[in-house]
Amino acid sequence: MSLRHRILLLWSVAVAALLVLCSVLFTNLNHAQEDAAWVERTKDIVLAVSEVQSSLRNAETGQRGYLLTERATYLGSYEQAIAAAWDALDRADGLFQNPSQKVRSAALRELIRQKLFELNGTIQLAKKGDFAGARRIVFEDRGKVLMDQINHLVGEINAVQAELLTFSRNAAVAQNERVRHIVLFGGPLIGIGLMLLGLTTTRRIGRPLQTLLEGTHQLSKGNFEHRLPVERNDELGTLAKAFNTMAESQATSLRARERADQALQKSNAELHRHDEVLDLLRQLAQRLQSATNEREFGMAMQQFAPRIFPGRSGALYAHNNSRNLLVRLAQWGDTASSTEVEPEACWALRRGQPHIVTDEPDVRCDHVATHAEPYACLPLTAGGDMVGLLHLMGRLSEVDHEVASALVENVALALVNHRLRASLREQSIRDPLTGLFNRRYMEEALALEFARADRTGEPVGIIMADIDHFKRFNDTFGHDAGDALLRAVGQLFLKQFRHGDIACRYGGEELTVILPSIGLADLEARAELVLQAVRDLSIVHKGQALGRITISLGLAIRLDHVATPSVMLSTADAALLRAKQTGRDRFETAPALVAML
């Protein structure tokens, strides 16, 4: 065989081997592109399913907002959430290729249909005016089982998709391993052929092939950033370009896969944080609804707000009874906040909407320090009434905005309910005319004070008061004047006695005051002060002076634990009768109630 034919044969063999190698590399490139497409589709599926889950939660939030506030504005967000859920589910259906995932998607669609049927049922019931019945259905958690099934099925879809992604990744790794083996074993054979050919064409073929082999070796080690220099326009130059294209494709595929993994991890982290925040909001709502006073209300906020907004300072304010000032109920974080805020000092309260200050120039509230740190003031509104303010320091992200909105809604409703319960409690124990405690509360308080006195050994005093000639006032000036007189005397009693004393309306024109931990001398001194204060009282009703007003007092003191509340009241009432019989406008003291009774 001539040298020409031998070289031609060697060239043919070398070219054939290179073509085989290129074919394998291009095949691997196609697989890599398919893997990248699979990763992208998996990311879209996960995002679409997550959007379905989020939209259902938003629909449930809109439903509950409408049922709790009876405001139809929540129905808009409810309808939008439903449309978004179906749209996201349709996108997911179009992306599924795995038969089992298509089955799960169909099951998810059926569960969503059932869930939306349950939500729409309560809304339709509310639209008919039966809001209480609709809320009762919600509080019975009938939809929780469906939501748990939906969450479980979403988690199963994500888990199966992750498994399929892992399977695809493993297949790509195996494909790369096969290519590496082919390169490792085919390379030496090609090298032998090239060595034989290199006897005559070393300078034209040897060095480019060596460079190609080095690039292939780098590729087999996973160095997809390695590129071959393209110095020629012949077949070897074309091969170098193809190699570079393949390496770039591999690198792009790898980067896309890494981005998809990072996006998936971030999505999972956000879902976990979202679930955690929802659970914290649920726990906080339970604590706020169970709080018996505003101190406990503030304590609950101080415990949960730092966990809902980690690393962020803030404060919660509520209107005082006069609604001319907001007082701080809770504070958390490192930044000190004002203890009181005037409504005019806050732009959010003036405008009736959130006031968010960023790094951009903007007006700042007077109750916030003058430094340039961003902050947000969010008014608490329930039933169209502004009841408080949530103040947060720092820049709020989009997620923070959503969480803050949910927190504001929950806290506002809880605060309104808390104050409503406190108002109802106050009404149940207060006499509406005088503002004093009523007789039922007096009997309960007297029993408690006797029990406390039994433990401590301290005395308990009682003053029973009766307005002198009250019937004459009614006959002369009318019952409205009598009510005005009772109201004025009741307000005077609230001012004349100590903070711990309990002033009550016993019945009619009779008033009773329980004075814990008081001696006889102090009890009589207090009675004399009250008599003089009533004498100095001047009442004008409908432009007519009611004249001189006096009261009679009966005093009793319990020095040990023998006397019962009924005996104590009877003794004080007997002393009151003696005071009226001996001239009125005076007090009589009953003998001290001790064991001899």
88-121 residue pLDDT tens: 889 888 888 888 888 888 888 888 888 888 888 8
CA distance 67 to 59: 12
> Is residue 507 within 8 Å of residue 576, measured between CB atoms?
no
CA distance 146 to 462: 61
Joined together, the tokens standing for residue 526 give 């207090």
337-354 residue pLDDT tens: 788 888 888 998 888 899
pLDDT at residue number 408: 86
> Is residue 115 within 8 Å of residue 18, measured between CB atoms?
no
> Is residue 127 within 8 Å of residue 119, measured between CB atoms?
no
Please report, for residues 329, 358, 361, 400, the alpha-carbon distance to residue 375 in angstroms, rounded to integers and kept in the order given: 19, 7, 13, 12
431-443 residue pLDDT tens: 889 989 999 999 9
Beta strands in 395-459 (DSSP E): none
Residues in a beta bridge with 437: 430, 504
Span 126-132, mean pLDDT?
86
pLDDT at residue number 21: 65
> Is residue 554 within 8 Å of residue 574, measured between CB atoms?
yes
Higher-confidence residue: 445 or 295? 445
pLDDT at residue number 25: 63
3-state secondary structure of 144: helix
Architecture in CATH for domain 291-427: 2-Layer Sandwich (3.30)
Of 30-34, 303-307, 331-335, 591-595, give the range with the top mean pLDDT. Answer: 303-307
DSSP state of 437: B
Beta strands in 293-443 (DSSP E): 314-319, 326-332, 340-341, 355-357, 375-382, 385-393
Instruction: Taking each helix axis as running N to C, give the angle between helix 73-95 and helix 99-127, from 0 to 180 degrees, rounded to the nearest 10.
Output: 170
Joined together, the tokens standing for residue 191 give 């090298």
User: Which residues fall within 8 angstroms of residue 406, CB to CB, at 6 or more apart?
Assistant: 61, 281
Environment class of 325 (CB within 10 Å of its CB; exposed 0-12, middle 13-18, buried 19+):
middle
Architecture in CATH for domain 439-589: 2-Layer Sandwich (3.30)
pLDDT at residue number 10: 60
44-79 residue pLDDT tens: 888 888 888 888 888 888 888 888 888 888 888 888
| Average pLDDT value for the chain | 83
Domain boundaries, the chain: 3-270, 291-427, 439-589
Architecture in CATH for domain 3-270: Up-down Bundle (1.20)
Higher-confidence residue: 9 or 505? 505
Percentage with pLDDT > 90 across the chain: 21
